[in-house]
Amino acid sequence: MTKWAYDEDRTYHGVWDRGTGESWIEAELAEYGPTERLKVIVLRRLEPTGEMAYRVGEMGWGYNGGGTSAAASAILADALGQEPSSELREAFCEDVLSQFMDEWRLRRGAVLRWVRGWCAQHNVTDLPDVVAQLPPVDSYKYGERPAAVTEQQHRRVSGKPGRPIR
């Protein structure tokens, strides 16, 4: 059985603090169950990309608007490894992010499977490699989770040096 790299199964974790109005999305190593999430390893905080980059600190969900577009650009760019089209980004807002509440988690594999379904529905045949060869759904087909993320592993996951999350 082929083991996928530990970082292929990251989770996107969105938090909106009603008290401060602050919202953010972090990419975490995927964990399964509330006890395991107590010791989750945060890889990085996501930021809007491309034409939505000006909306840093303005990401949102639970509605369909500019903040939701900013969140969608951050999630899709991270999951795909490339900038999403505006059509894909806006469809993700409408179909997925508009349904979320204050705090949520979404596995990268679920994002990629949603993208693949959207591409099939819209007759997109030139799929990004990461969508054409989806990671497994079964968490036991992934390699071991590290106790900590080294700088070299972080660069492989994100392409840039690590930085403090908060």
What DSSP line would sit under 29-77, residue for residue? E---SHHHHTTPPEEEE----GGGGGGTT----SS-SHHHHHHHHHHHH
For residue range 108-145, what is the model confidence (pLDDT) as tens digits? 989 999 999 999 999 998 888 888 877 666 655 555 65
Query: Which are the contacts of 122, defined by CB distance < 8 A and separation ≥ 6?
Result: 87
Q: What is the pLDDT of residues 61-85, one digit of tens each?
A: 999 888 899 999 999 999 999 999 9
- Residue pLDDT, tens place only, 6-65: 556 789 999 998 898 889 999 998 777 777 777 788 888 998 877 776 666 788 999 988
79/86 Cα distance (integer angstroms): 15
Decide if 158 is inside a domain.
Answer: no
Domain ranges, residue 71: 7-136
Residue 34 pLDDT: 73
- Domains identified in the chain, total number: 1
Q: What is the overall mean pLDDT for the chain? A: 79
**Has residue 28 been placed in a domain?**
yes
The answer to whether the beta carbons of residues 106 and 92 sit under 8 Å apart is no
Which tokens in the block code for residue 4? 């996928």
> 109: which 2 tokens?
């594999």
Instruction: Establish if 153 belongs to a structural domain.
Output: no
- Residue 148's pLDDT is what? 54
Distance CA 93, CA 49 (A): 15
The reply to whether 161 falls in a domain is no
